[in-house]
Each structure stands twice: as structure tokens, then as C-alpha cells.
Structure 1
Amino acid sequence: MGYVTTKDGVEIFYKDWGPKDAPVIHFHHGWPLSADDWDAQMLFFLAQGFRVVAHDRRGHGRSSQVWDGHDMDHYADDVAAVVNHLGTQKAVHVGHSTGGGEVIHYIARHGEDRVSKAAIISAVPPLMVKTESNPGGLPKSVFDDLQAQLAANRAQFYHDVPAGPFYGYNRPGAKPSEPVVLNWWRQGMMGGAKAHYDGIVAFSQTDFTEDLKGISIPVLVMHGDDDQIVPYEDSGVLSAKLLKNSTLKIYPGFPHGMPTTEAPTINADLLAFIRG
């Protein structure tokens, strides 16, 4: 584990586990979490002989709680700083939710030379907010309300999200795991309120349409059809259509946080795609 300092002086925390000569998987976490959200994947793939890397986005987890730069351009450049520091080649980049947008923008902005494949899970592209050109999106008022709840009582908000829609624990017959909820809360509260507040705009209003169109490497698009955070019809389905070389997998009944609640299924499908 260590830190890399970006060109604008931000310290980005990263984990780098496994043999240096092993094939690399680089994980990108969702909002407002940290690299810890990938525990179930990193331990699994480490045991499968991979080198696994994950970083905390600026303002999140153990990275610097800077007040600015919370946008996809900076997020992508921060990824490039970690990649350049580690010197990894032909890595598979895997992103969940906001991290999926980060993966897509990183590849589009920095090229495919050092990337072999990518996977985006419950991811925000092409565009979350409703616009004239994106009529199926969510109204901006939805995201304004998220910012209002964060500003009013971040600690309560960060309990309500995982206890409810994030993991589908609000569904009839669901069996909520309080430790899973508390681990989400722990990760969220480690980060900075300003970064998370601005991050809502970054994940909801960034248009990844042109990024997706320009990517030619194989991309696995994974989405649950009971995702209450990022509805799959206007995200995963549309992203797969825009990508030149995509595989779309829709999971009946799976929630937004399926890498945690459905880890065995997600891990097996990721492994098959990476080795395929």
C-alpha cells in the first residue's frame, strides 16, 4: 500500500497486492466509498493468481480531502498517475457505479495502450441526468435532493442509503446485513463532505456518450435489473449499444451493490471474461 502525488499535489492512496509479474486488475470504487469496497473481489482474484490494484478517489477514503478537482477529468488523470507510478501494463480495469464512469473516461482520455479489457458494473454511463437528448434519465431534482440530504446530515444519509436501496434491503423479504450497512457507512464517513457533494454532480451530469463510442477494447457491461440507484435500461443497456466491442449481462433481481451481495456470481463472471 502507498501513495502517489498527482501533478496538482493531491495524495492518492492505493493498494497493490500480488506478484509484480502477474496479470493486473485495477479496481475503481463507487461513490462515496473507497478501495475497501472491493475486498470480496481483491481477495478472490489474488487467490486466482492476479495482481490486484485499487485506489481511493481524491477526497475519498485515505486520499487527500482536497476541496477541488472533483470531476471526471481529474478522476481520470488521478488514475493515470497511479498507473504511471506502478508501471502496470495491459491491465483489466473494473469499475463499479461512479467507478465505471471513471474507467470509461480514463480509457477515452488516456488511451488503450496500457489497457487490455474493461468491465463496468452497475455503472453510471452514458448519462444519468434527464436532458432533451437523454429523456430516459432521472430529473436533476433527484440529485439536488441527494446533495441536500448530504449537507443536512451526512451521517444519517450514509446509513439510509445502504440500509435501503443500495443493496436492495428495502425490498420485501430482503434480509439486511447490518455489518454490510455499517461498512458502507464507515467508508463513506472516511471521505470528505465537499468531495462527496461535488461528486454527485460528477457522476450524474457527466456525459460519457462520446467516450463510449471511441473505445475499441472488449468491455463487459454488468447490471442488475433491480438497481434502484442507476436504473439499468438507461445505463448498462445503452452503454453496451454505444461500445464497439461489448458483452452485456443483465442479472435478474440483483441490486446496485451486487459486487458485495452477489460476489460469487460477479466474481465468476468477471473471471470468465478476463480469461476468455
Structure 2
Amino acid sequence: MPYFETADGTRLAYEEYGTGAPIVFVASWALSADMWEYQVPFFVDRGYRCVLLDRRGHGRSDRPSGGYDMDTRADDLAALIEHLDLREITLVGHSAGGAEVARYLARHGEERVARVAFVSAVLPFLKRTDDNPEGAPEVVCEASIAQFQSDRPSWFAQRAQGFYATHLGNDVSPALVDLTMRQCLETSPRATTEVWRSTFHADHREGLRAITVPTLIVHGAADQSAPVDMTGRRTAQLVPGGVYKEYPTGGHGLFVTHRERLNADILDLIKG
């Protein structure tokens, strides 16, 4: 597995598969590049180059004590793109990865980017403020962090079925649910806490309004991790010309439960 070094000396792992126009996949909070196992073969078989990043503290990347703020994580993504000199990119970000994609665009512009897909993204702004009454109170964020610090395995176990909305008939085996939980628990405890906190406090509204490249927003109507009224629908209202697709039986884990539809929608974005 190749690595590159960021400005603060952190070594980050990434993977590459295929050739052709590049698609950069940015993983969810607490998950790594391995989460995209149902997307990579689909796009490689259709002639695309798939690039996948393990953010700091996740997967096979270094576990530094700091750098988990939103700006540094966006700069890490920029460093990968520049390291590989990628251009005409399709950026695909899931959950907190979608937030990092949005911050990358706000900080580094669209020069290298052709199009964007926000999948179950925790956008535009999670924290409740006077001008963001749709957000959640800060006490909710800190309560989750307290649970991470007390019993992380229990926190993930309690939410595993809801992540995939199995109560709506989505066919996900117990073994696959267990795999997802194990991947989450492999993330460093500090990264788990600090990425969660910084994502909660990040306001992306101004940056979303400035996006000019073709943008796809995909969200599940039954998303328990990022409720659609707070996230997907509001994001669609902010991105100029964004295409919004809502999956009625989708939870947060659309990349598994609705992989055929999601892959097809991303392919339509690329070909569009």
C-alpha cells in the first residue's frame, strides 16, 4: 500500500485501482477505504481510476495526536490530489467524508475537480445556533463523545442495524454488520472523538453556495445518523443546480444497501 506525507509529517495511506478518469472516494467517519468495496470494482470495470484515502487516525494511516480539525482534513485530501497530480476529478464523499469534500472545495477551489457527489453527507451545518435552528444542540454532540470514551463498542453496536435501516427490509447479513462495526473500532479512539467533534461544529453553508461544478446529493429518507431534514434536503437547497436524489428505504449505509442504484447514479453524474 502506498503512502504520502502531509505538511505536518503525518503519513497517510491510499489505494489506487484501474486507469482512466479519476474518482476520489473519501470515506465516512470511523471507516476507511475498505468501505468502498462495492463501488471500486463497478467503476474499474467501466474504465475509471479509483483513488481511496485513509484519513489520519483511520485505516492504515498514522495516528497523530492532532490534525483532526476540518481544515487540516481538507488539506490532507488536497495533499493526496496534488501528490498524484489528479485533474478532472470526480469527488465522492460519504458522511463526514462529504463534509471534507465540501471544505476542500471551499479552501482549494474547483480547478482540479470536474464534479462532486455528496452521499449521506453531514452537511450543511450540524450544530444548532441562532441562525441554524435546524441543527442539534451541542449537548447531543458531547453526550455521544462521553459514550465513546465510556464504551465505544456499545455505542456502535446499538446503532449498527439502524445504520443500514434493516427494519425497512434492507438485506444486510449479520456478518456484514459485524464487519462494519469492527472496521469502526479499528479507528483510533482519539480520531473517533475529534473527527466527530470537529465535524459537528463545521459550518459549510457559504462554501456550498459557491459550488459551480455539477453536483449530486444522495440521501436516505430513513437515515438515522444524518437525518434527511437536517442534512440532505438542506444541502440540496444550497448547492446551485445540484441534483438531489432521495432513497425512500435508505439509511446511512447506502454504499452497501443501495449500491446498485448509488453506483448507477454516480455513473450518470460522471457521464452527464
Task: Pick the TM interval, shorter chain.
Answer: over 0.9
| 1:217 correspondence with 2:213 | yes
Counterpart in 2 of 1:246? 242
Distance 2:139 2:236 in 1: 27
Pairing 1:83-98 to 2, within 5 Å after superposition: 83-98=81-96
Give the TM-score, by structure 1 length: 0.95
Distance 1:155 1:149 in 2: 10
Pairing 1:192-231 to 2, within 5 Å after superposition: 192-231=188-227
State the 1:176 CA deviation: 4.7
Q: Is the alpha carbon distance of 1:52 and 1:252 closer, same or farther for their aligned partners in structure 2, counting shifts above 3 Å?
A: same
Pairing 1:59-74 to 2, within 5 Å after superposition: 59-74=57-72
Counterpart in 1 of 2:11? 11
3-state SS of paired residue (1:233): coil
Question: How many residues are treated as equivalent by the alignment?
Answer: 272
Distance 1:180 1:144 in 2: 29
Indicate which of 259, 266, 272 corresponds to 1:270: 266
Distance 1:120 1:249 in 2: 10
State the 1:244 CA deviation: 1.8
1:260 partner amino acid:
V
Counterpart in 1 of 2:136? 138
State the 1:146 CA deviation: 1.4
Q: For the Cα contact (< 8 Å) 2:27–2:97, is it kept in 1?
A: yes
Distance 1:28 1:70 in 2: 15
State the 1:250 CA deviation: 1.1
2:238 partner amino acid:
L
How far does the alpha carbon of each residue in 1:125-146 deviate from its partner, in whole angstroms, 9 at most, with x for none? 1111222111111222222121
Question: Which ranges in structure 2 are unaligned for 5 or more consecutive residues?
Answer: none
Q: Is the alpha carbon distance of 1:63 and 1:123 closer, same or farther for their aligned partners in structure 2, counting shifts above 3 Å?
A: same
Distance 2:168 2:48 in 1: 38
Indicate which of 158, 161, 164 corresponds to 2:159: 161
Question: Which ranges in structure 1 are unaligned for 5 or more consecutive residues?
Answer: none
Distance 1:94 1:174 in 2: 23
Distance 1:173 1:18 in 2: 34
Q: For the Cα contact (< 8 Å) 2:168–2:249, is it kept in 1?
A: no
| 1:109 correspondence with 2:126 | no
Q: For the Cα contact (< 8 Å) 2:4–2:83, is it kept in 1?
A: yes
2:88 partner amino acid:
K
How far does the alpha carbon of each residue in 1:57-101 deviate from its partner, in whole angstroms, 9 at most, with x for none? 111111111111111101110001111111111110000100110
Distance 1:237 1:113 in 2: 27
Q: Is the alpha carbon distance of 1:219 and 1:108 closer, same or farther for their aligned partners in structure 2, counting shifts above 3 Å?
A: same
Deviates more, 1:220-229 or 1:127-136: 127-136
Counterpart in 1 of 2:21? 23
How far does the alpha carbon of each residue in 1:14-36 deviate from its partner, in whole angstroms, 9 at most, with x for none? 001112xx001000111111011
Indicate which of 177, 180, 183 corresponds to 2:176: 180
Q: Is the alpha carbon distance of 1:263 and 1:130 closer, same or farther for their aligned partners in structure 2, counting shifts above 3 Å?
A: same
- Give identity over the alignment, percent: 38
1:143 partner amino acid:
C
Once superposed, which parts of structure 1, at least 4 consecutive aligned residues long, lie more than 4 Å away? Answer: 172-176
Indicate which of 97, 100, 103 corresponds to 1:99: 97
| 1:57 correspondence with 2:73 | no
State the 1:156 CA deviation: 2.6
3-state SS of paired residue (1:9): coil
2:178 partner amino acid:
L
1:15 partner amino acid:
E
2:175 partner amino acid:
P
How far does the alpha carbon of each residue in 1:183-213 deviate from its partner, in whole angstroms, 9 at most, with x for none? 2122112221001101111221100011101
Counterpart in 1 of 2:123? 125
